[in-house]
């Protein structure tokens, strides 16, 4: 990344990340504002094609519930997973969303990134910065879903998209493979940004958390599959919103996707 941004420039605990707490909070503010602007104007019964079979009302409730759960986790400082509150019917999903956006912003805004707290990825330290990052990207992705469904658009900035690719590969892929849907694939993949010199090498071993490493520009690496695209496209492709452009072992390429 050029200028003031550099891949894994900011130290958060014992991990280097693309952005940092204040940038994640700023991204959350921007993306939540755009998301709320869309969902306020669209009929809540309108379908969201990128999240079948959800409607706008269900998408809004999902985001609100996610933020509510994050607030509870971070506020508690618990080192153990917490059960979310029972799901109840909310007569005003947008009003509920507004409450949760304000609450999680207050909680995260007053929580240092290095405060110990439970996280769900075996590849991430149990520190609060994980949640600062997670809410920024959850909101960015859901904002894209809402804009896409309403046939409007707002591009993802390259630095946010790049950080999202890094989160997807570096922490969320480990959570998927370790808990949600472990895969029996073996091999390596390169994930290459076409609009910069950032490249990740992902190594899959059955029953193990994927090993993710950055590759130095110009380095030659033998792999079984290669995925490439602009940072914003890779971000959305890893989340299953757009096709993942790649070549090589299809099972390895499929293993890269979070959905």
Does residue 138 sit in the same domain as residue 249?
no
Does residue 236 sit in the same domain as residue 134?
no
Domain of residue 86, residue span: 19-149
Note the pLDDT of residue 179.
66
- Within 8 A by CB and 6+ apart from 44, the residues are 55, 56, 57, 60, 93
- Within 8 A by CB and 6+ apart from 185, the residues are 204, 206, 249, 251, 252, 255
Whether 14 maps to a domain, the answer reads no
pLDDT confidence tier of residue 17, bands split at 50, 70 and 90: low
Q: How far is CA 187 from CA 204, 224, 228, in A?
A: 5, 6, 17
Does residue 96 sit in the same domain as residue 187?
no
Does residue 80 sit in the same domain as residue 174?
no
Note the pLDDT of residue 199.
95
Whether 4 maps to a domain, the answer reads no
Whether 29 maps to a domain, the answer reads yes
pLDDT digits (tens, 9 = 90+) for 202-248: 999 988 889 999 998 888 888 999 999 999 999 999 999 999 999 99
Whether 188 maps to a domain, the answer reads yes
DSSP H helices in the chain: 21-41, 56-76, 93-109, 129-149, 158-167, 173-175, 231-238, 250-256
More confident residue, 253 or 217: 253
pLDDT confidence tier of residue 103, bands split at 50, 70 and 90: very high
pLDDT digits (tens, 9 = 90+) for 39-94: 999 999 999 999 999 999 999 999 999 999 999 999 999 998 877 777 777 889 99
Does residue 23 sit in the same domain as residue 128?
yes
**For the whole prediction, is pTM greater than 0.85?**
yes
Q: What are phi and psi of 121, to 5 degrees?
A: -110, 130
Does residue 27 sit in the same domain as residue 126?
yes
Does residue 167 sit in the same domain as residue 90?
no
Does residue 193 sit in the same domain as residue 249?
yes
Does residue 115 sit in the same domain as residue 210?
no
SS3 222: coil
Does residue 131 sit in the same domain as residue 238?
no
pLDDT digits (tens, 9 = 90+) for 161-204: 999 999 999 999 999 876 656 678 999 999 999 999 999 999 99
Share of the chain above pLDDT 90, in %: 77
Note the pLDDT of residue 240.
96
CATH of residue 235: 3.30.1050.10
Number of domains in the chain: 2
Whether 121 maps to a domain, the answer reads yes
Does residue 38 sit in the same domain as residue 142?
yes
Whether 1 maps to a domain, the answer reads no
């Amino acid at each position: 990344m050029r200028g003031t941004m550099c891949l894994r420039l900011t130290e958060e605990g014992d991990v280097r990340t693309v952005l940092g707490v204040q940038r994640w909070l700023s991204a959350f503010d921007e993306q939540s504002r755009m998301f709320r602007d869309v969902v306020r104007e669209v009929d809540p019964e309108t379908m969201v094609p990128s999240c079948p079979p959800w409607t706008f009302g269900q998408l809004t409730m999902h985001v609100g519930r996610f933020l509510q759960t994050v607030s509870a986790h971070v506020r508690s400082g618990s080192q153990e997973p917490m059960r979310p509150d029972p799901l109840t019917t909310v007569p005003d999903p947008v009003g509920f969303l507004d409450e949760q956006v304000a609450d999680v912003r207050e909680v995260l805004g007053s929580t240092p990134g290095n405060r110990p707290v439970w996280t769900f990825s075996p590849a991430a330290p149990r520190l609060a910065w994980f949640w600062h990052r997670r809410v920024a990207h959850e909101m960015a992705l859901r904002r894209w879903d809402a804009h896409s469904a309403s046939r409007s658009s707002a591009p993802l900035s390259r630095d946010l998209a790049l950080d999202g690719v890094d989160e997807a590969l570096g922490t969320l892929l480990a959570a998927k493979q370790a808990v949600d849907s472990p895969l029996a694939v073996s091999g390596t993949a390169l994930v290459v940004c076409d609009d910069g010199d950032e490249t990740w090498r992902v190594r899959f071993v059955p029953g193990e958390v994927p090993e993710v490493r950055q590759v130095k520009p110009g380095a030659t690496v033998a792999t079984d599959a290669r995925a490439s695209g602009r940072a914003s496209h890779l971000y959305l492709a890893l989340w299953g919103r757009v096709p993942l452009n790649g070549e090589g072992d299809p099972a390895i390429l499929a293993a890269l996707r979070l959905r």
